[in-house]
Amino acid sequence: MKLTTQIISEIYEGQSLEELKIIDVKKRNIDVVDDISACKELRRLNLSDNDLQDENSITGLRDLEHLTLLNLSNNKFKDFTGFQHLKTLNVLNVSHNQLVHMSPHITRLKQLKALILNHNNLLEIENIETLLNLNTLVISHNKIDTVPRLSSLAELSKLSAAHNQLQEVPDLSYNYALKELRLNDNKITTIPETLRKCTALEIMDFGNNRISSWKDIAPLGSLNKLHNLNLKGNPIANKKDYLEKILDLVPSLRILDGERFDPKFLERKKKQKENMNLVEKKQRLKRIKLQKEKKQQKQQQQQQDEKDTDTIMGEADIEEVLDKKNRNRPKKMKGEDITKVKALKRAAEVTTTEEHNPKKQKKKVVEDKDAFFAKPTDTLRAESATPIVVDKSQTKAQTGVVGVVDKTKLKKDKKKASNSTDSTDIVAAFEKQEKETANTATGLDVGGWD
């Protein structure tokens, strides 16, 4: 894909090309940059993660007079051919490319302040002596085994040559402005005396090297501004009393091997922790207070709901209570029910009277005893409280198993016979009575009674 002004206009629709100061066209498969000089005020251009690879692919950048930052990372450049025309650049990022050497074209970039060349295939550092304004040089993750003297780079404040094949620390005795030096993951065995002159150093990373003795780090004692030191991964870091001796050597240290321990920081951290505890305590008390308030509100709401329920259901509750009371009261009876109750009451009274009357009780016992011989009319009277009218003509009829002779009547007849002038034979009288009752008797003959 070719980057043209038309594409830029489509990307930044509604903005004037002449006023654009920043263009970001990363990851668009761009392999050629056409003339985009119409972007007269362009200061920063990001072309990372594309397919640019040589001078012909960036000819359209020549006439950008105000371009100060160019990001060409993750492309396919093998040298600096064509970069000589970008004389206004302050920052050039060509990391993650295929650079094998640093061609002389880079010497034309007199205003360059930051050169970023990490993750390439560089074998040496060259042609940068003329870059007098350079303050940052990043050449990590290459195949460099030697870094030349950089005495001309008086403004150099940051040098990163980590993850290379260095066996010695470069001579930096003239780089007085150097503040940050990163040489970790190399094959360095000692820190040279020349480094004592870099008194501005604040950050040093020598991790994962081969430093093993205390004398190998003696020059660190001259670096009074050094506050961050990393020696982790070196044999010396396993020595006894490592921390105490390093602190005796470099009293200004606040961070060693990634661990911060300086008193001011620890005190500040302690205060922050106390403050956090205080904050947590306040938050906890606040939560408890809110929970109590919610609980009180809930209780108040329940009480209010109960009051509202009592108000609404008051009449219904009263009616329910009255209904309950009415149910416990005796019901008002109709006339017929009253008559029956009275009859039952009289019957009960009669029964009670009879029970308390000895004569009647005795009679009743006798009647109960002779119930087998009782007349039908007597049985009916006993079963019903209502008087029963019995036809006298039928009194002679017997309803038992055998015909029974009324002893009382026999006595009366005997008495009458004895008093009568008529000399009727008693046996004849009995036989006559037997004949009268024989027609209605059932079961046994007269001889059946005892």
How does pLDDT run across 425-442, given as a tens digit for each residue?
Answer: 555 655 555 555 544 444
Predicted local distance difference test score (pLDDT) of residue 302: 83
Q: Is residue 152 part of a domain?
A: yes
Tell me the average pLDDT across 343-362.
57
* Same domain for 345 and 227: no
* Same domain for 356 and 428: no
Q: Which of 369, 393, 417 is the last residue of a domain?
A: 393
Tell me the average pLDDT across 193-215.
96
* Same domain for 135 and 205: yes
CA distance 247 to 238: 15
* Same domain for 287 and 238: no
Sign of dihedral through CA atoms 216, 221, 225, 229? positive
> Which of the four pLDDT bands, split at 50, 70 and 90, describes residue 305?
confident
Helix axes 358-369 and 335-356, enclosed angle (nearest 10): 90
* Same domain for 287 and 233: no
pLDDT tens across 65-80, in order?
Answer: 999 999 999 999 999 9
Q: Is residue 100 part of a domain?
A: yes
Predicted local distance difference test score (pLDDT) of residue 269: 76
pLDDT tens across 389-414, in order?
Answer: 444 444 444 444 444 444 555 445 54
- Give the predicted TM-score (pTM) of the model: 0.61
* Same domain for 275 and 218: no
Domain count, the chain: 4
* Same domain for 134 and 227: yes
* Same domain for 281 and 359: no
pLDDT at 444 over 70: no
Predicted local distance difference test score (pLDDT) of residue 304: 80
Q: Which of 50-54, 128-132, 223-227, 292-296 shows the lowest mean pLDDT across its residues?
A: 292-296
* Same domain for 216 and 354: no
Q: Is residue 132 part of a domain?
A: yes
Q: Is residue 317 part of a domain?
A: no
Q: Which of 359, 374, 393 is the last residue of a domain?
A: 393
**pLDDT exceeding 70 applies to what percent of the chain?**
69
pLDDT tens across 91-128, in order?
Answer: 999 999 999 999 999 999 999 999 999 999 999 999 99
Count CB neighbours of 285 within 10 A.
Answer: 10
49: left (phi over 0), alpha (psi -120 to 50) or beta: left
Give the range of the structural domain holding residue 289, as residue numbers without chain letter. 270-305
pLDDT at 134 over 50: yes
Q: Provide DSSP, 323-377.
A: HHHHHHSPPPP-HHHHHHHHHHHHHHHHHHHHHH-HHHHHHHHHHHHTGGG--HH
pLDDT at 341 over 50: yes
Q: 314 or 68, which is more confident?
A: 68
Predicted local distance difference test score (pLDDT) of residue 323: 63
Residues 436 and 406 sit within 8 Å (Cβ to Cβ): no
Return all residues near 57 (Cβ < 8 A) that are at least 6 apart. 31, 32, 33
Q: 323 or 244, which is more confident?
A: 244
* Same domain for 171 and 295: no
Q: Which of 243, 269, 295 is the last residue of a domain?
A: 269
Q: 216 or 416, which is more confident?
A: 216
Q: Is residue 328 part of a domain?
A: no
